[in-house]
Amino acid sequence: MKRLILLVLVVSLVLTGCANTSNNITGAAVGAPCECSDSDGLNPNTAGITIINSDGKTITRHDQCIANFVTEYYCEDCQLLSKNFRCENGCNEGACQ
C-alpha cells in the first residue's frame, strides 16, 4: 500500500512538472549578442569595412577589387555576407571609379 501511494505521488509530481508551461523553455542556445557594423552599406562606389563580433570572435573584411568588380561585404541576420558589383569604369582600393 505504501508503494502504491508513493508511486501515485511520484507520477503526480512528474505530470505536474510536465504540464508547467510558464518557464518558456525554447531549447535555443543562449550566447553573447551579435554586433555588426558596415561603414558604407552596399555602396560599391565607397570603400568600406565590415566588422562582426559574435561568440567572442571578431571578423573584419574590407571591400576589395578583383579586376573590374568590387566585392562588398555586409551583415544580415548576424552573418557576414558579400556581393559582387561590376564597375563600369574600373575598381580601385575597394570602390568603383
If one counts every other C-beta atom within 10 angstroms of the C-beta of residue 91, the result is: 23
The pLDDT confidence band at residue 33, using thresholds 50, 70 and 90, is confident
Question: Cα–chain-centroid distance for residue 35?
Answer: 9
% of the chain with per-residue pLDDT over 90:
58
Q: Would you say residue 93 has pLDDT above 80?
A: yes
What mean pLDDT do residues 3-24 have?
47
Cell numbers at 6, concatenated: 508513493
Instruction: Tell me how far apart the alpha carbons of residues 52 and 61 are, in angstroms, rounded to a whole number.
Output: 9
Map out the domains of the chain as residue ranges: 33-97
What mean pLDDT do residues 18-47 have?
71
Instruction: Tell me how far apart the alpha carbons of residues 67 and 59 are, in angstroms, rounded to a whole number.
Output: 24
% of the chain with per-residue pLDDT over 70:
67
Pairing of β 91-92 and β 79-86: unpaired
